[in-house]
Amino acid sequence: MDDKKLQNLQDEAKNLRRDILLMLSESGSGHPGGSLSAIDVIAYLFLAEMRYDPANPGWEDRDRFILSKGHAAPALYAVLAYRGYFSRKLLKTLRKLGSPLQGHPDSRKLPGVESSTGSLGQGISVAGGIALAGKIDKKDYRVFSLVGDGEIEEGQVWEAAMACAHFKLDKLCLFVDNNGLQIDGLVSDVMSVYPIAEKFKAFGWNTLEIDGHDFNQIESAVETFKASAGSGKPTAVVCKSVKGKCISFMENKASWHGIAPNKEETEKALEELGCVETLEDWLRED
C-alpha cells in the first residue's frame, strides 16, 4: 500500500488503541491484552476493506464481521464508534448497567454487532452459518471472523472448520489472533494449539501466516483471500501478534488478559501512544 494509506491506518489504529484504553479505564474491568493484539486486523477490515453502511446496519449485502473472541469487545466498539454506528460518547458506558456496550458483544443491544459472542468457539460457527446463507441466496457479501489462539482449544472451532471447508465457504475469511497467551499463561503451556496453519490446512482451508500488526501483510492476506473466491476453500490467516501491543508494560503479559488499567496506568499508556488527549479531557467531553 502507499505511504499515505499506511500512515492513515497507523494513525487511526493509534486512536483506536487510545479509545480501548480510555473505555477500559473508565469501566474498571475488561480485556485490554487481547483487544490490543487484535485491533490492527479489525481496524484494517473496517477502515480499508469491508462494505457496510452504519446508517443501515441491516443492509442485506453488507460484509459481516463476527468477533468470535468476544472478550476483545473494546476493539470492536472502538472501531464501530469511529465509523459512526453510534456516538463515541457511548464508549464511556462500557460494562455499565443499561449500556448497549455489554462486557461481551450483544447483537440485540448494539448496531454493528452481527452476532452475540463471548462464549468461546461459537462465533466461528455463526460466521459459517451466515456464509452458508449467503451461498444459498447467491449473495456476494464476505464474512470475516476473528478467533483467539486460546479459543481454538474449543472443539467446536474444529467442528466449524470441518463444516466451512465441507460446504466450500470461500467467502469466509478467518483471522486467528495468535498472541500466544491465554488467561492461565502461554498457549503452548496450557494446551498447545500448534501448528495452527497446518491444522487448518489439513481441514481443507487456504492458510496464510502473517504479522498481525503489519498493515501491508494484512492487506496482502486479504487480497489473497479475495483472489481465492471460487476456489471452494475458506481462508484462515494466522496472525502472529503481541498481547497488549504498543503499551510497554502490557506487552506479552498474560496478566493483562482480563484486568483494566487504573488511572496512572492509563495516563502512562496514553503517553506511550503519544496521545494529546488525557483521561480527564476524555471524561469531560460531551
Partner 1 sequence: MGKSEMVATRDVYGKTLVEMGRENKNIVVLDADLSGSTKTAAFGKAYPDRFFNMGIAEANMMGFAAGLALSGKTVFASSFAMFATLRPFEQIRNSIAAQNCNVKIVATHSGISVGEDGMSHQSIEDIAIMRALPNMNVFVPADGPSTAFIIREATRINGPVYIRLSRPATPVIYNPDTYEFQRGKANIIKDSPRADVALLAIGTLLHEAIHAAELLEADGYSVIVADFASIKPIDKEALVKIAKASRLIVTIEEHSIIGGLGGAVAEVLSEEYPSHMMRIGIMDVFGESGTPAALFKHFGLTADDIYRKVQKAIR
List contacts with partner 1 (CB under 8 A): 60, 106-108, 114-116, 118-119, 121-134, 136-137, 155-156, 159-160, 162-163, 166-167
209: three-class secondary structure by DSSP:
strand
Q: Which is nearer to partner 1, 159 or 209 (CB)?
A: 159
Q: What distances in angstroms separate CA 221 from CA 49, 127, 228, one per listed residue?
A: 12, 19, 11
DSSP string, 7-57: HHHHHHHHHHHHHHHHHHHHHS-S-HHHHHHHHHHHHHIIIII----TT-T
Q: How far is the CB of 258 from partner 1 (least distance, A)?
A: 19
Nearest partner of 243 among 232, 254, 227, 259, judged by Cα: 254
Q: How far is the CB of 122 from partner 1 (least distance, A)?
A: 5
Q: Which is nearer to partner 1, 186 or 202 (CB)?
A: 202
Q: Which is nearer to partner 1, 92 or 135 (CB)?
A: 135
Q: How far is the CB of 25 from partner 1 (least distance, A)?
A: 28
Number of helices followed by number of strands (H, E) in the chain: 10, 7
Q: Which is nearer to partner 1, 43 or 101 (CB)?
A: 101
Nearest partner of 114 among 91, 134, 94, judged by Cα: 134
Q: Which is nearer to partner 1, 89 or 166 (CB)?
A: 166
Q: How far is the CB of 133 from partner 1 (least distance, A)?
A: 3
For CA atoms 177, 180, 183, 188, give the dihedral sign. Answer: positive
Q: Which is nearer to partner 1, 81 or 172 (CB)?
A: 172
Q: How far is the CB of 150 from partner 1 (least distance, A)?
A: 18
CA distance 203 to 194: 14
Q: How far is the CB of 143 from partner 1 (least distance, A)?
A: 9
Alpha-carbon 284 to chain mean position: 28
